[in-house]
Structure 1
Amino acid sequence: MLGRPVAHSLSPVLHRAAYAALGLDWSYDAVDCGVDDLADVLAARSGWAGFSCTMPLKHAALDVATEVAPLARAVGCANTLLPADGGGWVADNTDVAGIVAALAEYAVAPSTVTVLGAGGTAQASVAALLALGVGACTVLVRDPARAGVVTATGERLGVEVTVAPLAPDADALGADLVVSTLPPRAADPLAGHAWTSRQAVLDVAYDPWPSALARAAGDRGAKVVGGALMLLHQASVQVALMTGEQAPVDDMRAALRAAVPDAGL
């Protein structure tokens, strides 16, 4: 697991549980790594079976890769690096699958979608709309001038992206599905919005949980999908890619529940 900060990550819990269930004598470690460190960190670990990448590396992973999987190229960022034939690394993206699978567990089938934030997970959220049969969304950001990467994702995938300022009274917060990709606590000011029971909210931030946003939406009857569930499903795809085996999702879920009983799984 590469990123900065990374000590808080629950990915080691998931991957270690998967390897144990598969009978693999593998390790999975959290390695503090910034953008400028990435090439050297990978060079020093050329024999590893793969890496999970979190912020701030989701765009940098494309730059260091010798190959880029079609989905990662379309999304414009990657959260996974796998060994390439002949050396180097293949960049891939499992966040999209994680979002789709997490929403499927709650039978979320929206007609309208709003995404909060414009980073790598927001890009994956836009890509996930294709699997949901949704061709447009609104992206709410604090600084609309910084939304270029997420609008570019929409252009590559044929998803119409409308950018608007992030504010507690934004009309777009009334969408059938609201996906918050904001850092922990950054969405707290939106807790006072008039959420309704016809809505679903996916908050990818899982520490602390429930977030103020998730608690407020749930109290008003909305379906609330937690970030730990997305993490579980994106990690299961990583495990399959890294090991060549079907991921033991039930074992991974049990390990995550034991580590964080209140994570909303």
Structure 2
Amino acid sequence: MHCAVLGDPIEHSLSPVLHRAAYAALGLDWTYDAVRVRSGGVAAFLDGLDASWRGLSLTMPLKREVMPLLTSRDSWAVVSGAANTVLLDAGGRHGLNTDVPGAIAAIREATDAPVDRALVLGGGATAASTLLALGELGCTSATLLVRDADRARETVETVARSGRHPAVRVEPLSDLATISEAPADILVSTVPAAAQTPALLEATAAVPVVFDVVYDPWPTPLVAAARAQGRTAVTGLDLLLWQAVDQVRAMTGRFDVPVDTMREAGVRALATP
């Protein structure tokens, strides 16, 4: 069977490393590749697949684009308006969102501390899924810090529609005074490492838990600063691992997924220049 991760950019994705490690440990002669698919291209890609394809992982900018192309959607895909997984079978294309349960698992593996108040950097599909995860963990209020408030509107509306959600207010990412003054139990970053400036690190230095979904380059400035200061760091690899575990379960039908083997493969890949 064939599987792949689609997105743009895609060159540095660790998804092939994790999935291939799982397939090898499970004794499956499956393939998993990284395929560059630009915005607007996912429909044509799906139409070109044959019966040898079993599943796809989706990253930016395709998680929302794929939604109208699906035959069915799981509950988290419906609530979030985004799917990071597509299962392919004779019945059609089935969309899942494993980012939400993956974020819950990643956070709770690292800490059992309260996450009542959150600061979230960035307003895209991953931010929406993470806010939904925080809502499940008891978060009641979140400040969403974005470059463009209009682009964050869909995320705010998504969270507001969910049955259990934090109250979200939107502020400009450039307003460092707001960031430093906002009390928070957890900082979630979905912005590139290049946007993690020394001033931003200083403004967020008091937040006890840092969750950075980015893992390239590694470590990101936010994670490096958190670890140096003895704060709890939840990493992009943690999120990638736990959402991939659910993807492997869904694609293979196997529940004996080798979590430790997948994690070790990811750690080795990050350590390799």
The TM-score normalised by the length of structure 1 is 0.92
Summarize the alignment of residues 11-22 of structure 1 with structure 2, pairs less than 5 Å apart. Answer: 11-22=15-26
- How far residue 216 of structure 1 moved from its aligned partner, in angstroms, is 2.3
1:52/1:80 contact within 8 Å kept: yes
- Paired position in structure 2 for 1:248: 258
Deviates more, 1:114-123 or 1:215-224: 215-224
Asked if 1:122 corresponds to 2:127, the answer is: yes
How far does the alpha carbon of each residue in 1:43-97 deviate from its partner, in whole angstroms, 9 at most, with x for none? 22232111000011011110211212121010111110112552x3111101111
Structure 1 contact 116–181 (Cα < 8 Å) conserved: yes
Number of aligned residue pairs: give it. 261
Give CA deviations for 1:7-43 in whole Å, capped at 9, x if unaligned. Answer: 1100000000001111110000111112322112112
Tell me the SS of whatever aligns to 1:163.
Answer: strand
Deviation at 1:169, TM superposition (A): 2.5
Structure 1 pair 208/173, CA: closer, same or farther in 2 (3 Å)?
Answer: farther
Q: Which residue of 153, 161, 170 corresponds with 1:163?
A: 170
Stretches of 4+ aligned residues off by more than 4 angstroms:
none
Of all paired residues, the percent bearing the same amino acid is 44
Q: Which amino acid aligns with 1:56?
A: P
Amino acid at match of 1:97: P
Are the equivalent residues in 2 in contact too, given 1:113–1:136 (CA < 8 A)? yes
Aligned match of 1:40: 44
Please name the residue that 2:9 is paired with.
Answer: 5
Alpha-carbon distance in structure 2 between the residues aligned to 1:123 and 1:40: 26
Please name the residue that 2:62 is paired with: 57
In 2: Cα distance, 1:207 partner to 1:238 partner: 21
Alignment of 1:190-201 (within 5 A): 190-193=200-203, 195-196=205-206, 199-201=208-210
Aligned alpha-carbon RMSD (Å): 1.9
1:241 shift after superposition: 0.5
174 and 32 in structure 1: CA distance in 2 versus 1, 3 angstrom threshold: same
Query: Matched residue of 1:78: which SS?
Result: coil
1:238 to 226, 231, 247: 247
Q: By percentage of residues, which structure has more strand?
A: 2
* 2:158 equivalent to 1:150: no
Question: CA separation in 1, counterparts of 2:245 and 2:18?
Answer: 8
TM-score (norm 2): 0.90
- Name the counterpart of 1:78: 83
Measure how far apart 1:217 and its partner are: 2.8
- 8 Å CA contact 1:174–1:195 kept in 2: the answer is no
Shift of 1:131: 2.3
Residue 142 (structure 2) aligns with: 137
Please say if residues 192 and 216 of structure 1, whose CA atoms lie closer than 8 Å, have aligned partners that are also in contact. Answer: no
Contact 1:82 1:89 in 2 (8 A): yes
Moved more, 150-159 or 119-128: 150-159
Q: 191, 205, 214: which one pairs with 1:205?
A: 214
Of 22, 26, 29, which aligns to 1:25? 29
The 8 Å contact of residues 193 and 221 in structure 2, kept in 1 or not, is answered as no
Structure 1 spans left out of the alignment, 5+ residues: none
Mapped to 2, the partners of 1:262 and 1:193 lie a distance apart of 31
Contact 1:151–1:161 under 8 Å retained in 2:
yes
Counterpart CA distance in 1 for 2:271 and 2:138 is: 33
Q: CA deviation at 1:194?
A: 5.3
